[in-house]
Chain A
Amino acid sequence: MASHLFHGQLIRLAAANADSDTDTWANWARDSEFLRLLDSDPAKPWSRQQTRKDLEEEPKPHAFPFVIRTLADDRLVGFIGLWIPNWNHGDGWVGIGIGHRDDWGKGYGTDALRVLLRYAFTEINLRRVSLGLFAYNPRAQRAYEKAGFVLEGRMRQAHHRDGQRLDELCMGVLREEWEEKNSKIQD
C-alpha cells in the first residue's frame, strides 16, 4: 500500500491551520496577477476575516482541500483541492494556486499535481480528473501537461482581460492514461 499519499519530492499536502496560515494566505491576493490566473472572478483583495473563516470551515461534502507546504522548511506556498460534483460519474475537478511570485516556477505546483492525481486515482478511485484554465496562463498549461492532462476543448472568447477576448481551456486526464504513465504506484 502507498503509505505516503500526502508526500511529494518537494512538498506535502496538509490541512490548513487558520492560526498560522491566515496572514500568508490573505497576502497572496495583494497580487492581482495571481488572482487573474487563479479564477475568472473580478480581482479583489481578500480580507483577513474572510480568509480566516474560509480556512476554519469544515470541508464541504465531496471537497478535498489541501494546503501545499514545502518539505524543506514546512512553509505554506499554496493550495490545491479536488471537488467531486457528481460521484456517480467518477469525475473530479482540480483547483490549484501557488501564492507568492517568488515560489512560481520552482516545481511546487507540478509536484503537488502529481501527488493530487495519485490521491485522486488511488485513494478516492476516480475515473477522470478535469480542470479549466485560461489561454493566457501557459505556465499552468505546461505544468498540467507534465502531470498528464491533455487539452480537451476550448471555450472561445470566454474571458475578457485588458480589452481582449480570450479562450478558456478544458483539460482532463483519464485513469488509464495516468496508470500507464505511472506503471508502478510509487510508495
Chain B
Amino acid sequence: MNSHLFQGSLLRLTAANPDSSADVDALMRWARDSEYLRLQEGDPAMPRSAARAKEILSNAQDHDGATFILRPLDDERALGFVGLWANWTHGDAWLGIGIGDRADWSKGYGSEALRLALRYAFTELNLHRVSLTVLEGNARAIRAYEKAGFVLEGQARHYSRYDGQWYGEVFMGVLREDWEEKDSSSKIQVPN
C-alpha cells in the first residue's frame, strides 16, 4: 500500500483548523488580494470577515470528497488549499485550488498540490475522472493543470467580464486511465 498520500516533497495535505487564528488570518489575508479572488472563483470579489473565514474552514471537512489546507513540510503556515467535490454516482469530482500569498506563487506548490490531489482522487476516492474550470486568461493555472495531466475539453465563451473585457471559461478534465498511464505511483506496492 502507498501510505504517504498526504506527503509531497514541498508540502503536505492537512486538515483545516477553524480554531486556529493563524488559519483564519490566512484566509482573510488571501482575500485582501482581489486578483487572487478573481482567479479563484467567479463570484464578485469580496474581502472575507473572520466569521466567513472560519465558516469556510469549518465546511472543509463537511462535503463529499475532501478539502485540504496546504502547508510546508516543516511548519504549520497555511499556503493555500486544494479541494475535491465528488459526485459519487458518476465517479467525478470537481477540483478547486488556490495558493494564497503572491510570494508563494510560482514556487511549485500548486503543481505539487495538484499531483497529490489527483493521486488522492484516483487511489483513495477511486474516482473515474476529475474536472475543473479555469478563467481563460489564467495562463499560469492552465499550464499547471496541463502539467498535472488535465486536457482541454471545452470552453464557454464570454463567461466572465472583468474590467470591460470578456473572458471564456475553460473546461478541463483528466480520466483515470490517462492518469494511470502518466503516473506510476498509482500502482499499489505490496510489500514482499
Q: Which residues of A contact B (CB under 8 A)?
A: 61, 84, 87-90, 123-125
B90 in contact with A89 (CB, 8 Å): no
Cα distance A124–B64 when bound, in Å?
15
Is B26 in contact with chain A by the CB < 8 A criterion? no
A87 in contact with B90 (CB, 8 Å): no
Known contacts A90-B126, A125-B89; 12 additional CB pairs below 8 A are: A61-B64, A84-B88, A87-B64, A87-B86, A87-B88, A88-B88, A88-B126, A89-B126, A124-B88, A124-B89, A125-B90, A125-B91
Query: Chain B nearest CB: distance from A153 CB in Å?
Result: 23
Cα distance A90–B88 when bound, in Å?
9
B 52-94 contacts with A by CB, 8 A: 64, 86, 88-91
A-B contact pairs, 5 of them (CB 8 A): A84-B88, A88-B88, A88-B126, A89-B126, A125-B90
Q: With contacts defined as CB atoms under 8 Å apart, how many contacts are there between chain A and chain B in the complex?
A: 18
B124: contacting residue among A88, A123, A124, A125, CB under 8 A: A88
In the complex, what residues of B have CB within 8 A of residue A61's CB?
64
Query: Chain A nearest CB: distance from B123 CB in Å?
Result: 10
Cα distance A88–B66 when bound, in Å?
12
Cα distance A125–B92 when bound, in Å?
12
Is B125 in contact with chain A by the CB < 8 A criterion? yes
The interface residues of chain A, by DSSP majority, are classed as loop
Closest 5 CB pairs of A and B: A87-B88, A88-B125, A88-B126, A124-B89, A125-B89
In the complex, what residues of A have CB within 8 A of residue B64's CB?
61, 87
Cα distance A88–B86 when bound, in Å?
10
Query: Chain A nearest CB: distance from B3 CB in Å?
Result: 17
B 10-40 contacts with A by CB, 8 A: none
Cα distance A17–B125 when bound, in Å?
35
Cα distance A182–B126 when bound, in Å?
26
Cα distance A61–B63 when bound, in Å?
10
Cα distance A18–B110 when bound, in Å?
51
**Which residue of chain B is the closest to A90 with respect to CB atoms?**
B126
Cα distance A124–B91 when bound, in Å?
10
In the complex, what residues of B have CB within 8 A of residue A125's CB?
89-91
Query: Chain A nearest CB: distance from B158 CB in Å?
Result: 33
A123 in contact with B126 (CB, 8 Å): no
In the complex, what residues of B have CB within 8 A of residue A88's CB?
88, 124-126
Contact with A along B116-128 (1 / 0, CB 8 A): 0000000011100
Cα distance A61–B125 when bound, in Å?
17
Query: Chain A nearest CB: distance from B112 CB in Å?
Result: 23
B125 in contact with A123 (CB, 8 Å): no
**Which residue of chain A is the closest to B87 with respect to CB atoms?**
A87
Cα distance A84–B124 when bound, in Å?
16
In the complex, what residues of A have CB within 8 A of residue B126's CB?
88-90
**Which residue of chain A is the closest to B121 with respect to CB atoms?**
A88
Cα distance A125–B126 when bound, in Å?
13
Contact with A along B93-127 (1 / 0, CB 8 A): 00000000000000000000000000000001110
**Which residue of chain A is the closest to B63 with respect to CB atoms?**
A61
Query: Chain B nearest CB: distance from A62 CB in Å?
Result: 8
Cα distance A125–B124 when bound, in Å?
18
**Which residue of chain B is the closest to A124 with respect to CB atoms?**
B89
In the complex, what residues of A have CB within 8 A of residue B124's CB?
88
Cα distance A75–B86 when bound, in Å?
37
Cα distance A88–B125 when bound, in Å?
5
Cα distance A123–B88 when bound, in Å?
11
In the complex, what residues of B have CB within 8 A of residue A87's CB?
64, 86, 88, 125
